[in-house]
Amino acid sequence: MTSAHDGHRRVIAAVDAAARALGLCPGLPLAQAQARIPGLAVTEAEPEADGATLGRLAAWCLRYAPLTAPDPPDGVWIDATGAAHLAGGEAALLADLVVRLQRVGFAARAAIADTPGAAHAVVRYGEKIKKVKKVLPLSLREGENNASPCPHPAYIAYTAIVPPGGAATALAPLPIRALRLSDEAVAALHRLGLTRIGQLMAAPRAPLARRFGASLLRRLDQALGQVFEPIVPLDPPEVISRRLPFVEPLFTAEAFSAVIARLARSVCRRLERAGLGARRLDLLFERVDGSVQAIRVGTARPARDPAHLARLLDERLETVDPGPGVEAMRLTLPLVEKFAQTQTATLLDDEAAPDLSVLLDRLANRLGAELVYRVAPVESDVPERSVRRVPPLAPPTRRTWPADLPRPARLLSPPQPVRALAPLPDHPPVAFTWRRKRFRVHRADGPERIHGEWWRRDAEMLAVRDYFQVEDEDGRRFWLFRRGDGVDAETGDLSWFLHGIF
């Protein structure tokens, strides 16, 4: 049991299971507790050390979900939305969490609900809906240390799962204190005869708002999911991040731009000390109403020039809605890489190679990263398989394009069917119709025969394509192919397709 000062008196700060069984609880005056139980062992509370430990525990919980946060003095928020299936479901996640904490000496209980307020209330006060599960020792996952065996043959994991949409039903029998209200508000509600959350939900809202202000109903609405309750996530220890709160809310793009420049300089100094460069940046705008706006930019190669990073973020400000105002901004670098120094010139009279990364970053930021790429050759005779998309600054491959087999600058995917007229099966067409427009062929070259890649699938064992380069009367050049060799019907049905445009 620990004690702390509460004004001019000393009160119990925390109790263990044995002390709680004796009727002691946090907040009880220490003198009263010692009068009840002589010889009580009391330790001075260390709030700073407890807070640091709670922060480390919240960081450890990142193994279960990407968003966690400490909930002082004795809780941890875990936003498991979309992540529970990775642990085998919500029940398996809670059981695994509680058992692992028990194995290292923590007494823990866990609950899952639609809202943070409901989960907080259920896990601390939900005795009636608490589920007690007998959990066998977990088999250590591959790669984990198995040096210290489990000291107990089984654990009792105290977990509760509130079904979706069941927050009101789960909260109704719980005491008013479960809504995280002040002691004064709880005492005043008790004097009015309101001791359970269900009674509070049924009471008229207007008189409650006039007497207790907006905080009481806001806590109730947050627990029921009618008002959003934000959780400020804990960044993993290795993530570079900087947050700036404001005295007054910000609304204008000019103010945001000034803050972005300051944040960029701060994170770039940390990148330089660590020898790293940013590859992805997330800028979060924490609004007064509790919601969060976010923009994300990326870089083609590791970068730590604050002016360049700030410009990329500035170009996305038009997508941000400040709403009632932004009270804080956070810049986080979820992806960083080693920053490699490159030599730009070998001799004094050499010209430095142009750095295209700045241009590529701005193009990707405006057009989308998926639209900025280059193509690299692949060892395949089938045209649609002979190229692949690679990042713009990816190192060149050893493969080269065949110089004697010119290919069109644009391939159609998939090839477009056309109606073609050819005098003989092995001759080029004299005319073809594509998208209801007729083209008369003035010149043609071919055929170039390409066989199917039988090692990929059996259907290509006998497949044949005969490609022709054709030019119409207006000088437009097309790449057509006929499916089949014109002799064996198994090689193709002699239908024509337009595959590329020169």
What domain count does the chain have? 4
In a domain, 372, yes or no: no
State pTM to two decimals: 0.53
- Between CA 106 and CA 56, with CA 66 as vertex, the angle to 5 degrees is 35
- Same domain, yes or no: 217 and 78: yes
- Same domain, yes or no: 108 and 191: yes
In a domain, 318, yes or no: yes
- Same domain, yes or no: 26 and 112: no
- Same domain, yes or no: 59 and 189: yes
In a domain, 395, yes or no: no
Amino acid residing at 88: G
- Same domain, yes or no: 183 and 59: yes
In a domain, 402, yes or no: no
Q: For residue 367, what are the CA distances in angstroms to 30, 139, 197, 311? A: 65, 48, 51, 15
Name the domain boundary from 181, 197, 224.
224
How far apart are alpha carbons 381 and 397 in whole angstroms? 17
Give the Cβ contact number of residue 295 at 10 Å: 19
Amino acid residing at 346: T
In terms of Cβ atoms closer than 10 Å to its own Cβ (0-12, 13-18, 19+), residue 438 is exposed
Q: Which two tokens stand for residue 94?
A: 């809670």
- Same domain, yes or no: 101 and 202: yes
Please report the pLDDT score of residue 350 as a whole number: 57
In a domain, 365, yes or no: no
- Same domain, yes or no: 64 and 135: yes
Determine contact, residues 234/55, Cβ cutoff 8 Å.
Answer: yes
In a domain, 269, yes or no: yes
Please report the pLDDT score of residue 344 as a whole number: 54
Name the domain boundary from 278, 305, 338.
338
Whether the upstream peptide bond of residue 414 has omega within 30° of 0, thus cis, is: yes
In a domain, 421, yes or no: yes
In a domain, 468, yes or no: yes
Containing structural domain, residue 15: 2-41
- Same domain, yes or no: 492 and 429: yes
Please report the pLDDT score of residue 131 as a whole number: 42
- Same domain, yes or no: 36 and 51: no
Amino acid residing at 323: G
- Same domain, yes or no: 35 and 131: no
- Same domain, yes or no: 52 and 36: no
Name the domain boundary from 224, 255, 287.
224
pLDDT tens for the chain, 502 residues: list them: 888 887 778 888 888 878 888 888 888 888 888 888 888 888 888 888 888 888 889 888 888 887 888 998 889 999 888 778 878 888 888 888 988 888 888 888 899 999 999 999 998 888 644 443 433 333 333 333 333 333 333 344 567 888 899 999 999 999 999 999 988 999 999 999 999 999 999 999 999 999 988 889 999 999 999 988 878 777 776 788 898 999 999 999 999 999 999 999 999 999 999 899 998 888 989 888 877 888 888 888 888 899 999 999 998 898 889 989 999 999 988 888 888 765 555 555 556 556 677 787 778 777 777 778 888 888 888 888 888 888 777 777 776 666 666 788 788 888 999 999 888 777 889 999 999 899 999 999 888 888 888 888 888 888 899 999 999 998 999 999 999 887 888 888 889 999 999 8
CATH number at residue 296: 3.30.1490.100
- Same domain, yes or no: 173 and 249: no
- At which residue do the structure tokens 């003198």 appear? 31
How far apart are alpha carbons 331 and 308 in whole angstroms? 15
